[in-house]
């Protein structure tokens, strides 16, 4: 080894040794003193004694081989070396604080947005929880895609189950999750009430009452496509007073409506649910999530959805044209499976 190589090696060893001696507590004390000017006040803010903070600064100066403060009756003034070190010290403290905040955030519950706890989306969440009983999940109810996109971009939720078509922001990704078969809901006096199943051709020319089809919602658009494809009229008139009122109105009239197979509507003695066939309309539930989300449980949810998804069957099922491409493929991002230990399932209003 040449003298120059030996000198470089020795210098590298010294640098690495010095870096190993850099103590975060001492750096934090240094930053606090620059802000408070007095060792005593900085010590009180950090919850340590003045002797302890003085020792931390002495150790930091010894490790760096420089003097960082000049003490006087007016407080501690930074030396030239101290002024050079200050922006780097602030960066070290900031990075450490951000790292801790990230780790704390990863321990919180996985927040999942669903349209309603009576829809198929909640079954998808429960099925996931059944496979990972120690996963902590918080359910957030909203008004579907219209609010879920903003919540995902803001980070107030980690994932959402909804119908998604069209272009998305680059920050969001979607994954086909579940195709929910449709049922016809009618009263017992309806002409179709006695059938075990209803073919879609039998609804041609009929009016389907959907008072909950909010203008601009993804489910209202879905039913407009359905009505156009099978010659049915979608009637959205009338106030939406909730499930109980909706079921009671259907049961006491000749109205017909379409609901999801897994929709948990209140039982009513005068209503009948009948599967729709030839073809079966299916409602496309997607998992929507931010690409940059770092919550470890999200990776587990993605893998669960991938493993349980059944692709669109064009010979027996019907989907609107904008949904067909996504639900015919099973493309999804690969993600590592983290180890997590979390507890419980809770629902937020």
Domains of the chain: 3-106 (1.10.10.10), 110-347 (3.40.190.290)
DSSP 8-state secondary structure symbol assigned to residue 280: E
- Pairing state of beta strands 172-187 and 271-277? antiparallel
Looking at residue 174, what is its pLDDT? Answer: 94
Cα dist from 261 to 15, 39, 112, 317, 320, whole Å:
67, 69, 21, 14, 18
DSSP 8-state secondary structure symbol assigned to residue 203: G
Q: What is the dihedral of CA 323, 324, 327, 332, to 10 degrees?
A: -80
Q: What is the pTM of this model?
A: 0.66
Q: Which mean pLDDT values do the consecutive 10-residue runs of the chain (349 residues) have?
A: 43 39 88 90 89 93 92 89 93 80 67 93 95 88 88 91 89 95 96 96 96 91 97 91 92 94 94 97 97 85 95 97 85 41 36
Q: How far apart are CA 216 and CA 194, in angstroms?
A: 35
Looking at residue 315, what is its pLDDT? Answer: 96
User: Please, what is the Cα angle at 74 between 68 and 75, to 5 degrees?
Assistant: 35
Q: Give backbone dihedrals phi and psi of 193, rounded to 5 degrees, phi first.
A: -60, -30
Looking at residue 230, what is its pLDDT? Answer: 97
Strand partners, 183: 259, 275
Instruction: Pull the structure tokens for residue 39.
Output: 């060792």
Looking at residue 104, what is its pLDDT? Answer: 59
Answer whether the bond into residue 290 is a cis peptide, omega within 30°: no
Q: How far apart are CA 222 and CA 277, in angstroms?
A: 17
Burial class (CB in 10 A: 0-12, 13-18, 19+), 162: buried
């Amino acid at each position: 080894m040449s003298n120059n190589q030996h000198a470089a090696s020795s210098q590298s060893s010294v640098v690495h040794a010095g870096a190993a001696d850099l103590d975060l507590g001492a750096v934090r004390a240094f930053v606090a003193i620059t802000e408070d000017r007095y060792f005593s006040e900085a010590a009180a803010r950090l919850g340590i004694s003045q002797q302890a903070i003085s020792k931390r600064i002495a150790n930091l100066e010894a490790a760096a081989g420089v003097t960082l403060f000049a003490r006087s009756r007016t407080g501690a003034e930074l030396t030239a070396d101290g002024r050079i070190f200050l922006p780097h010290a602030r960066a070290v403290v900031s990075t450490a604080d951000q790292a801790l905040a990230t780790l704390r955030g990863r321990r919180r519950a996985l927040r999942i947005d669903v349209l309603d706890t009576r829809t198929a989306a909640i079954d998808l969440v429960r099925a996931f929880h059944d496979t990972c009983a120690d996963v902590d999940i918080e359910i957030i109810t909203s008004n579907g895609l219209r609010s879920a996109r903003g919540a995902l971009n803001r980070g107030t939720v980690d994932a959402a189950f909804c119908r998604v078509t069209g272009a998305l922001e680059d920050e969001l990704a979607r994954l086909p999750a579940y195709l929910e078969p449709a049922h016809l809901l009618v009263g017992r006096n309806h002409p179709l009430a006695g059938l075990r199943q209803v073919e879609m051709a039998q609804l041609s020319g009929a009016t389907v009452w959907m008072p909950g089809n909010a203008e601009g919602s993804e489910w209202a658009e879905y039913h407009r496509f359905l009505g156009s494809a099978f010659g049915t009229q979608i009637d959205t008139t009338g106030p939406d007073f909730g499930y109980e009122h909706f079921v009671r109105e259907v049961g006491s009239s000749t109205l017909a409506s379409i609901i999801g197979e897994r929709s948990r509507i209140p039982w009513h003695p005068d209503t009948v649910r009948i599967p729709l066939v030839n073809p079966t309309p299916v409602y496309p539930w997607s998992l929507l999530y931010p690409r940059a989300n770092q919550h470890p449980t999200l990776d587990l949810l993605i893998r669960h959805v991938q493993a349980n998804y059944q692709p669109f069957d064009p010979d027996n099922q019907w989907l609107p044209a904008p949904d067909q491409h996504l639900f015919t493929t099973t493309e999804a991002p690969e993600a590592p499976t983290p180890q997590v230990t979390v507890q419980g399932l809770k629902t937020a209003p």
